[in-house]
Amino acid sequence: MKKLYYSIGEVSELASVEPHVLRYWETIFKELSPRKNKAGNRTYREQDITFVLKLKELIQDKKYSTAGAKKFLEQQQGKISDSEPAGADISFETKKDLKEIRAFLVKLQDKL
């Protein structure tokens, strides 16, 4: 079953990014602003997670600075992304499933 909201710990684990990095990115990127519940805990929606994964790709994988990533995203805003290769944006659920499969396979390999 698909969840409506995810905790910072779940998002951190899924994206392989430390929680303090997520909180820092919130201060830099206005598009990343997870709501807070009554207890004050951040609650991330699927669109927030998609944005986090895009930031991770730009900053950690493609080695953009935060300023460079911000500029890149501003340039992309409003453009239609027809030029992206098929499969460039894997859904959040698919990434979550793949991560679970990988963890299962690692455990299985350890038992062999």
Q: Is there a domain that residue 83 lies in?
A: no
pTM of the predicted structure, to 2 decimals: 0.68
What pLDDT, on a 0 to 100 scale, did the predictor assign at position 90? 64
* Beta-carbon contacts of residue 30 (< 8 Å; ≥ 6 apart): none
| CATH number for 24 | 1.10.1660.10
Q: Is there a domain that residue 39 lies in?
A: yes
What pLDDT, on a 0 to 100 scale, did the predictor assign at position 62? 93
What pLDDT, on a 0 to 100 scale, did the predictor assign at position 4? 87
Taking only the tens of pLDDT, the chain with its 112 residues reads 478 899 999 999 999 999 999 999 999 999 999 999 999 999 999 899 999 999 999 999 999 999 999 999 888 875 644 445 444 566 667 777 788 888 888 888 888 8
10 Å Cβ neighbour count for 18?
A: 10
In what helix (H) or strand (E) does residue 43 lie, and over which residues does it extend? strand 42-43
Domain hosting 17: range is: 8-78
